Amino acid sequence: MSMSDSDSSQSGDHKTFRQITRDRLLCEMIRSTKVKDSKSTWKVLIMDKVTVRIMSNSCKMVDITEEGVSLVEDLYKRRQPLPTMDAIYFIQPTKENVALFLSDMSGRSPLYRKAYVFFSSSIQKELVAQIKKDSSVLPRIAALSEMNLEYFAIDSQGFVTDHERALEELFGENVEGSHKYNACLNTMATRIATTFASLREFPYVRYRAAKSSLDVSTVTTLRDLVPTKLAAAVWNCLAKYKSTIPDFPQGETCELLIVDRTIDQIAPIIHEWTYDAMCHDLLNMEGNKYIHEVKVETKDGKQKTEKKEVLLEDHDPIWLELRHAHIADASERLHEKMTNFIMKNKAAQIHQSSRDRGELSTRDLQKVVQALPNYGEQMDKLSLHVEIAGKINNVIKELGLREIGQLEQDLAFGDAGTKELINFLRTKQDVTPENKLRLLMIYAAIYPEKFESDKGSKLMQLARLSGDDMNAVNNMRYLAGSDTKKTSGVAFSLKFDVHRKKHPFRKERNDEAGTWQLSRFYPMIEELIEKLSKGELPKDEYPCMNDPSPTFHGTSQSLPVRTTHSQPAYSMRSRRPATWARPRNSDDGYSSDSVLRHASSDFKRMGQRIFIFIVGGATRSELRAVHKLTSKLKREIILGSSSLDDPPQFITKLKMMSAQELSLDDLQI
């Protein structure tokens, strides 16, 4: 995970967000417990359900072991006493956790010799007093510290606060008067603030303004106030950090923009055509875990098939290189890599020729043995990704996704409307219910007025949507801050953002030459981040908690804002050639390793960081956008959200916004 070698975003070399997180956990926390003359070399690491996930998102078990941890335990499980060993507690500062810690270390027979206690966020004074009050525990505490690290680093430039039910709890049917609303916002704010504690950054805090602040005739709802309330809560946490955390900046060093899912209702639903997004959308993966079948030889010389789990993460150089590439581009590049690999690798050549001749000479076997160390590992990596890309392309073909994707993009850009959608639904009877639902949800986001009459219900009847699917479209109204009540039957009212244009089509972006036709779509955060970087965000729509000086435009003085020359205009309405591949500089089967070796070079001499937080779930297209804009703007962009959702998950959560006493598993589509 190592990306770079420095601390400061202002002075040359630069560490990425995830690397800083990892360093704090391993160095600032675990390594700090090492005592030179201590008899106890190995330690026990004790965590709760939240902190174990924080740790696993940034560190591997081997990293922890190398720092002297021999055992990792669950705070809530019964544990064997180890009175000769020291323990490191990395826990949330809750009453329950403090009570369990005191139970472990009090009395005549504590579970461990000494305890180093690190809280993931700020602890209440009452709980500190409770710890100090126990005279048997106090001498056994070697350290008591606030780490202020309570977020989940899911990417080198992304984190989540793990609020999977944020849509339901903040925008759902019964948010008015719900205790879950404030609890969710407060925890979310605390976790967002700890990202700035880790990076020693103090941001300008901007947020999407409530519609009532722009139009006095608009009724203020709790849903509409989510960004405002969250920004205020984050600001309160940061203000405390200024006086409690050593070396915390006293002046602004970066930008934070807090928005919610209302800014872009299409991004979580539309098919994203990159390798990463297609893997998670079409292959039913569990997180980043991909399960595939491999043939293994048994003791009696026969072959059998076994299931093998692999993680598609940053440690895989091929994944790191291709994850943001269009699936067709990724497929072609994998084919080229495999071809070049076989041409350049002796073992692969001999393996291939032996198939043709049916035998191997002694000299051939010697060459195979010499080449095997590199051959096996690289061949496995390439074969894995060739298999995955092949599966994705088969699903695309089976489901007719190219035609569906074309209609989705045409709807988003205003090149198609009601007529084209009706024609598609009438002529394509074999389209899956999920894809029909996604088309209808995109249409509803663009043409909400159609659903204020019976036109919307007729369209849903034509698509033969189920009651649950109609519910998902119906619940999109909550994402606009509307307080409209549902009417009975299938007719309902969708009141989206009244302040935006009647039909919020995407504007064509011609800043990339030779863009794929099915990658026309871009998430709205791209526009927002670029405007924020240039200091062009409308102040009435995106006010700031701490009014910045007029001279501040989001870059360090030594690094002015760079502008890019726009490419010649290109009509996206015209159909592209049959080869939907974008021009690129292909490489051989080895070159993807350089992605890892040189990942840090792009982060050196960066401008000030930009953070954007989306309440209600971020998408893989938005995560891709922050990587792209980091290179374009020469500023590290970090995306935060309550969760990272693929389309099936997001649609399930939409259904739950009005469903009572149902779990996420009950409503899987």
Binned at pLDDT 50, 70 and 90, residue 490 comes out as very low
φ/ψ of 663, rounded to 5, equals: -95, 170
pLDDT at 64: 96
Binned at pLDDT 50, 70 and 90, residue 546 comes out as confident
pLDDT at 593: 47
For residue 541, pLDDT over 50 is answered with yes
Please list, in sequence order, all residues whose beta carbon lies within 8 angstroms of the beta carbon of residue 241, skipping any fewer than 6 positions away: 148, 193, 196, 197, 202, 248
For residue 366, pLDDT over 80 is answered with no
Residues 76-116 pLDDT 10s: 999 999 999 999 999 999 999 999 999 999 999 999 999 99
* DSSP E strands, 505-621: 607-615
Burial of residue 559, with CB atoms counted within 10 A of its CB: 0-12 exposed, 13-18 middle, 19 or more buried: middle
pLDDT at 221: 84
Per-residue pLDDT, averaged over 599-609, amounts to: 67
pLDDT-wise least confident of 188-197, 361-370, 520-529, 604-613: 361-370
Closest CA to 664 of 631, 654, 653: 653
Return d(Cα 543, Cα 257) in angstroms, integer. Answer: 10
For residue 562, pLDDT over 50 is answered with no
pLDDT winner (highest mean) among 7-16, 319-328, 374-383: 319-328
pLDDT at 307: 87
CA distances from 541 to 75, 212, 246, 500, 536 (A): 45, 11, 35, 11, 11
φ/ψ of 494, rounded to 5, equals: -110, 105
pLDDT-wise least confident of 178-182, 301-305, 409-413: 301-305
Return d(Cα 590, Cα 340) in angstroms, integer. Answer: 9
Binned at pLDDT 50, 70 and 90, residue 353 comes out as low
pLDDT, averaged across the chain? 82
pLDDT-wise least confident of 40-44, 214-218, 272-276, 450-454: 214-218
pLDDT at 114: 95
641: three-class secondary structure by DSSP: strand
For residue 485, pLDDT over 50 is answered with no
Q: Which amino acid is at 592?
A: S
pLDDT-wise least confident of 398-407, 548-557, 576-585: 576-585
Binned at pLDDT 50, 70 and 90, residue 659 comes out as low
DSSP 260-322: EGGG-SSTTTSPP-BHHHHHHHHS--BTTEEEEEEEEE-TTS-EEEEEEEEE-STT-HHHHHH
Binned at pLDDT 50, 70 and 90, residue 223 comes out as confident
For residue 54, pLDDT over 90 is answered with yes
For residue 430, pLDDT over 60 is answered with yes
Binned at pLDDT 50, 70 and 90, residue 351 comes out as low
Share of the chain above pLDDT 70, in %: 76
pLDDT at 377: 74
Per-residue pLDDT, averaged over 245-266, amounts to: 94
Binned at pLDDT 50, 70 and 90, residue 207 comes out as very high
pLDDT at 506: 82
Strand bridging mode 303-311 / 289-297: antiparallel
Which residues make beta-bridge pairs with 141? 115
Which residues make beta-bridge pairs with 291? 309
For residue 525, pLDDT over 50 is answered with yes
Share of the chain above pLDDT 90, in %: 59
